[in-house]
Each structure stands twice: as C-alpha cells, then as structure tokens.
C-alpha cells in the first residue's frame, strides 16, 4: 500500500508534513495538479524575474500554516478534533483550486464574471462527490458557515493563513524584503476568545501591525507596481480583443480548450465549461500569444508582442485622474504614428486602490490579559493601525512607447 503521509520540501517553510491520507489524495488529483501550471503572480516575472512560483506551491504552504496554527491553538487549550483539523486543512488546500490561467487577470474574461472562489466551490463539490462526502466539513468551513467561527477566519479573514503564506512566498520569490513577515510569531500569538472568534494575544500587536504594513508595501511595490498592473491589464486586453475578433468571424489559432472559451457565449456554467476549464492553464495563453504576435489584426499583434518580447508600453502614474485632453492627445498621436484609426484601443487609464486595514468588514481583535477583547485600532499601544484605515488610489496611464519617443 502506498505511503500517503509524505513530507514535502518547501523553499519558504522548510519541511511540510501531509498528516492525513485524504490531503495526499486531493494533491494527487488532476484538478489540483493543474495548479503547477498556474502562476501565483500572473506576469510578475516580467518585473521580478524570480517570481515564477505557482498556485501549487502556495496552496501547500497555506495548508502547512493551517496545521501550525491549529497545533498552536491546541496548546492553548482549544479543543480541535481530528475531523476539524482535516476539514480546515482540506479547505485551505483547495481554496485556489478554481484559479484560471495567470490567476486573477483572466477570471472574468474566460468565465464571464465567475470569481475564482465560485469555481473553487464548484470543483470542491465535484471532488466531494468523488470522495464520497469526505470534503463536506471542508466545504462548510470554506463557505464561512462552520459554527466555530475561528476555523472560517483562519481560511478567510484579514489575518488568514492564505495571506500569511502568500506574503512571505511572494516576498521570497520577488526578492522584495518589505513583504517578509514573521509568520511563526504571528501564529504563536493566535488565540480564540469565548465567542469562538479568532483573536491575537495583546502582546502580539506589533507583529500584526508589521503584517499589515508588509501587505501594504507588497501591494504598492509588487502587485500594484505600475508595470505589474500594466501586464495584467494587457492580458485582459489580449483576450478581449481575441474574443471580439472571433465574434467577427475571424479564425484565430489556439489550443482546443482556449478556443472553446473564445467562442463561448455568456451563460451559466455547464458541465462542459467546467471540464474544459480544468484543462486550461498558463501554457494555453502563452502559446496563443506567441502565435497571435503575427496576427493580421494590428491591436492583437501589438499587445501580444508587448508581452512575449517584453516590449511594454509607457506608463505614467498619478494620484489623480488624467485630464481628458491629455488622453485624447495620446490617442491622436498613436493613430498618426501607426497609421491606424483605432488608437483608442492602445491608450488606457488603469485604476488601483487599496485599503490596508478594513475595520468595518474584518476587524482584528486583541485579547487582553484580563480576558477582554478590543479592536486593534483602539489599542493604546498601536502605532500604525490608525494610519492604515484610509484608502489609497493610484491612476496609471498607458500608451505606446513609440509615441513617447516622439515627444521626448
């Protein structure tokens, strides 16, 4: 009989244990193995060459941190059954199973407005049928419906193990040290209060503030970096253009599964949609872009060359929206330079906004020595939390580099 209680060597956390056979069975499943071919950070490797890690990496790391968190809570006297441990580890292991190619960028393009969490849930339900109901508790926790609230919060909240893993992992692979947080310290400070909610021991306040600050820096320095935002935007534009051309009767070469989605009309997901989706990964899109560089359609060819040859358009960043006249001037110059009349397709304003700490939706609570819980931002000891409750917005204008050269 095969030994399923294996140990995996992870560059971020060291050795990761698989303590339950069902975890191994899910990891081995084709739905999960597909995550090896889905980038964790889209096209970030165009900016940070080391960022080539995958959703597969991340899901295993998050599962490991869940195991560590539950062990910590047990040591503090919180009763956690083996079934609950299994459920929580399965839920976090599968939380990204519904991600499409290049993670977030193409979600709405391929499956209408299907968020990856809806797809994850749909695939979890399919796996649950396959494994005779063994995932029912995991699904309940993933949906945030389990009666012991802290399990739901460890899976999805402002301080969940998903964020704890991706911040450290993305920091490690991009080489951006500002995102490096002490996950062990944060997990060791986790506790559960009387109402069954996840709280942080008050003495861990600065580790939490450091975590919120690290997340904020990672967003502006990495995920919302102007070139990163641009690359994600271009991916969407490529598929948007491809879908438009196909609707106009133009035949575009693509793998069978990608072609299926290019021709697909808006509708509720069918069994075939789901089956095809689980066959799709980054490689389908990369292969298409390589071929579409030579498309007769100037716009599609232009965007694909931008990515494949890493010859990206020019970007300007501002904290305010750009003047309409300024944008129109860029469109006019684009039309003139390339001898086209649809330059509007190549000039865009991209908006990015971030609320580092959402006190309304998901406040973080500190557990004081006297047993009372208080909100993080209300603590007399807080240094940064009060500054992180405001939304920051950035506008990025992108236009062809060629017309910038004319100006400069």
User: How do residues 150-169 score in pLDDT, each as one tens digit?
Assistant: 999 999 999 999 999 999 99
SS3 state at 399: strand
Mean pLDDT score of the chain, rounded to an integer?
Answer: 92
Give the whole-number percent of the chain exceeding pLDDT 90: 80
Of 4-8, 109-113, 187-191, least confident by mean pLDDT is 109-113
Cα–Cα distance between 250 and 207 in angstroms, integer?
A: 55
* pLDDT category of residue 123 using cuts at 50, 70 and 90: very high
pLDDT at 258 over 90: yes
pLDDT at 406 over 60: no
Cα–Cα distance between 19 and 67 in angstroms, integer?
A: 9
* pLDDT category of residue 329 using cuts at 50, 70 and 90: very high
List C-alpha distances in Å: 292 to 175, 286, 350, 393: 32, 10, 24, 34
pLDDT on residue 361: 86
Q: Are 225 and 233 in contact (CB under 8 A)?
A: no
Cα–Cα distance between 65 and 59 in angstroms, integer?
A: 10
pLDDT at 386 over 80: no
pLDDT on residue 103: 64
Cα–Cα distance between 381 and 376 in angstroms, integer?
A: 9
Strands 190-192 and 365-367: unpaired
Query: Is residue 229 left, alpha or beta, with left meaning phi > 0 and alpha meaning psi from -120 to 50?
Result: alpha
User: How do residues 84-111 score in pLDDT, each as one tens digit?
Assistant: 999 999 999 999 999 889 866 666 666 6
Q: What are the two backbone dihedrals, phi and then psi, of residue 220, each rounded to the nearest 5 degrees?
A: -75, -30
Cα–Cα distance between 328 and 148 in angstroms, integer?
A: 55
Cα–Cα distance between 41 and 390 in angstroms, integer?
A: 25
User: How do residues 260-292 score in pLDDT, each as one tens digit?
Assistant: 999 988 777 788 888 999 999 999 999 999 999
* pLDDT category of residue 408 using cuts at 50, 70 and 90: very low
The DSSP code sequence of 245-258 is HHHTT------HHH
Angle at 70 between CA 66 and CA 76, to 5 degrees: 150
* pLDDT category of residue 1 using cuts at 50, 70 and 90: low
DSSP state of 39: B
List C-alpha distances in Å: 166 to 51, 80, 179, 309: 12, 25, 9, 28
pLDDT at 369 over 60: yes
Cα–Cα distance between 188 and 201 in angstroms, integer?
A: 9
List C-alpha distances in Å: 104 to 100, 101, 114, 186, 321: 7, 8, 11, 27, 24
Exposure string over 244-261, b if 16+ CB within 10 A, otherwise e: ebbeeeeebebeebbbbb
Q: Are 207 and 186 in contact (CB under 8 A)?
A: yes
Sequence-distant (6+) residues with CB within 8 A of 144 are: 152, 155, 156
User: How do residues 191-226 score in pLDDT, each as one tens digit?
Assistant: 999 889 999 999 999 999 999 999 999 999 999 999
DSSP state of 389: S
Q: What are the two backbone dihedrals, phi and then psi, of residue 191, each rounded to the nearest 5 degrees?
A: -150, 175
pLDDT on residue 269: 75
Domains and CATH numbers, the chain: 6-223+358-388 (1.10.3210.10), 225-311 (1.20.1250.30), 313-355+391-407 (no CATH)
pLDDT on residue 215: 95
pLDDT on residue 360: 87
Instruction: Give the end-to-end CA distance of the chain in Å, rounded to a whole number.
Output: 69
Give the 3-state DSSP-derived string for 137-190, with helices as H, strands as E and coil as C. Answer: HHHHHHCCCCCCHHHHHHHCCCCCHHHHHHHHHHHHHHCCHHHCCCHHHHHHCE
SS3 content of the chain, % helix, strand, coil (to 5): 55, 10, 35
Sequence-distant (6+) residues with CB within 8 A of 355 are: 389, 390, 391, 392
* pLDDT category of residue 387 using cuts at 50, 70 and 90: confident
Q: What are the two backbone dihedrals, phi and then psi, of residue 74, each rounded to the nearest 5 degrees?
A: -60, -40
pLDDT on residue 110: 66
């Amino acid at each position: 009989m095969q030994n399923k209680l294996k140990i995996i060597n992870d560059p971020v956390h060291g050795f990761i244990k698989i303590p339950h056979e069902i975890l191994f069975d899910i990891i081995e499943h084709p739905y999960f193995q597909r995550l090896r071919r889905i980038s964790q950070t889209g096209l970030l490797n165009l900016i940070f060459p080391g960022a080539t890690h995958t959703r597969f990496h991340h899901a295993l790391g998050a599962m490991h941190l869940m195991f560590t968190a539950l062990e910590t809570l047990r040591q503090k006297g919180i009763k956690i059954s083996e079934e609950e441990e299994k459920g929580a580890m399965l839920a976090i292991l599968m939380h990204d199973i519904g991600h499409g190619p290049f993670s977030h960028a193409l979600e709405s393009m391929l499956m209408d407005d299907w968020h990856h969490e809806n797809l994850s849930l749909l695939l979890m339900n399919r796996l649950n049928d396959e494994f005779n109901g063994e995932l029912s508790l995991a699904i309940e926790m993933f949906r945030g419906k389990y009666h012991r609230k802290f399990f739901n919060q460890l899976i999805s909240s402002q301080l969940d193990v998903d964020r704890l893993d991706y911040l450290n992992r993305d920091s490690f692979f991009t080489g951006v040290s500002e995102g490096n947080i002490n996950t062990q310290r944060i997990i060791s400070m986790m506790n559960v209060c009387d109402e069954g909610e996840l709280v942080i021991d008050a003495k861990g306040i600065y580790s939490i503030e450091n975590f919120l600050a690290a997340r904020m820096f990672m967003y502006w320095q990495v995920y919302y970096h102007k070139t990163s935002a641009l690359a994600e935007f271009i991916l969407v534009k490529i598929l948007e253009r491809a879908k438009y051309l196909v609707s106009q009767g133009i035949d575009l070469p693509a793998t069978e599964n990608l072609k299926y989605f290019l021709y697909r009309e808006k509708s509720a997901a069918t069994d075939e949609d789901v089956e095809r989706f689980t066959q799709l990964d980054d490689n389908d899109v990369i292969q298409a872009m390589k071929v579409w560089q030579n498309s007769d359609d100037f716009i599609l060819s232009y965007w694909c060359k931008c990515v494949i040859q890493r010859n990206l358009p020019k970007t300007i960043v501002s904290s305010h929206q750009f003047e309409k006249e300024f944008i129109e001037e860029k469109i006019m110059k684009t039309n003139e330079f390339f001898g086209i009349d649809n330059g509007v397709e190549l000039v865009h304003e991209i908006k990015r906004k971030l609320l580092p700490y959402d006190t309304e939706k998901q406040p973080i609570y500190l557990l004081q020595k006297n047993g009372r819980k208080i909100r993080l931002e209300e603590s007399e000891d807080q240094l940064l939390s009060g500054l992180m409750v405001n939304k920051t917005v950035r506008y990025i204008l992108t236009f062809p580099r060629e017309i910038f050269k004319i100006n400069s």
